[in-house]
């Protein structure tokens, strides 16, 4: 059953990079906006006459916290009508229609296997929600590896937060991967996400579940590589962007 459309109010906007912004949305008619980490909301933006051409879906980047405020992290697409509207027309105090929560890209009931969260760009959003939820609720888990690919150090969304969480949450490991940096520090990687999870998997060889979030090319390649390593399709979950 679909949730009804509700009015959301933009209460804060922060710029992570010139082309990637954080939007905090309050849903005033609810005391608590309840959702599962990994779910998304759909925005109905005034950019077209046809409904299905106005709808844009974004994963919730915040963890459920008992409030009626959620955070989205959105990248500007040059030819994207939806993101151009959000970046150019929306201000703090603006209202927009949203529906949610939606989606089944969520954590299993029991975290009995190692968890590999593989993402690029704003694909980190559902994983940030998941790992903060696990941490704040003291949920038992095996090793969790967050492998986050981006171009440069300045593109590493939530970097300080993830580095701090790695120190605070036993069994959580943050692996940033940079495709356009010549020199990286210990614990960081050059290149792309695929080499990182393959190296980790070959070293550990434990049962694992995989969650992939990002552009189609990355997900298609990761799914094939993981199956080539012998992992079952049913252990590979993904959410496409774009």
Task: For tokens 């927009």, name the residue.
Answer: 96
- pTM (whole model) above 0.85: yes
How do the domains of the chain map onto residue ranges? 6-102, 114-241
Q: What is the CATH number of domain 114-241?
A: 3.40.50.80
* Residue 124 near residue 159, CB atoms below 8 Å: no
Rounded to whole angstroms, how far apart are CA atoms 87 and 84?
5
Token pair 């998304």 is found at 40
pLDDT in tens, the chain (242 residues): 789 999 999 999 999 998 999 999 999 999 999 999 999 999 999 999 998 899 999 999 999 999 999 999 999 998 999 999 999 999 999 999 999 999 999 999 889 999 999 999 999 999 999 999 999 999 999 999 999 999 888 888 999 999 999 999 999 999 999 988 878 888 888 889 999 999 999 877 789 999 999 989 999 999 999 999 999 999 999 998 76
The model's pLDDT over 123-136, given as tens digits with 9 standing for 90+, comes to 999 999 999 999 99
Cis (ω within 30 of 0) for the bond into 85? no
Fold of 6-102: Elongation Factor Tu (Ef-tu); domain 3 (2.40.30)
Structure token pair of residue 87: 């970046």
């Amino acid at each position: 059953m679909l949730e009804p459309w509700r009015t959301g109010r933009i209460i804060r906007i922060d710029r992570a990079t010139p082309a990637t912004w954080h939007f905090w949305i309050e849903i005033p008619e609810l005391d608590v906006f309840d959702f599962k980490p990994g779910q998304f909301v759909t925005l109905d933006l005034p950019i077209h006459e046809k409904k299905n051409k106005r709808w844009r879906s974004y994963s919730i980047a915040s963890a459920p916290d008992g409030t009626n405020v959620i955070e989205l992290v959105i990248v500007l697409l040059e030819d994207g009508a939806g993101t151009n509207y959000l970046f150019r027309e929306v201000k703090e105090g603006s209202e927009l229609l949203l529906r949610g929560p939606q989606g089944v890209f969520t954590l299993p009931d029991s975290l009995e296997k190692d968890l590999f969260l593989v993402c690029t760009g704003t694909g980190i959003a559902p994983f940030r929600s998941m790992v903060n939820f696990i941490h704040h609720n003291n949920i038992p888990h095996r090793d969790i590896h967050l492998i986050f690919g981006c171009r440069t150090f300045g593109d590493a969304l939530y970097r300080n937060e993830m580095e701090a969480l790695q120190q605070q949450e036993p069994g959580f490991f943050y692996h940033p991967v940079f495709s356009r940096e010549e020199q990286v520090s210990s614990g960081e990687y050059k290149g792309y996400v695929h080499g990182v999870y393959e190296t980790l998997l070959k070293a550990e060889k434990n049962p694992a579940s995989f969650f992939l979030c990002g552009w189609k090319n990355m997900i298609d390649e990761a799914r094939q590589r993981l199956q080539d390593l012998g992992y079952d399709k049913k252990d590979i979950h993904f959410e496409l962007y774009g």
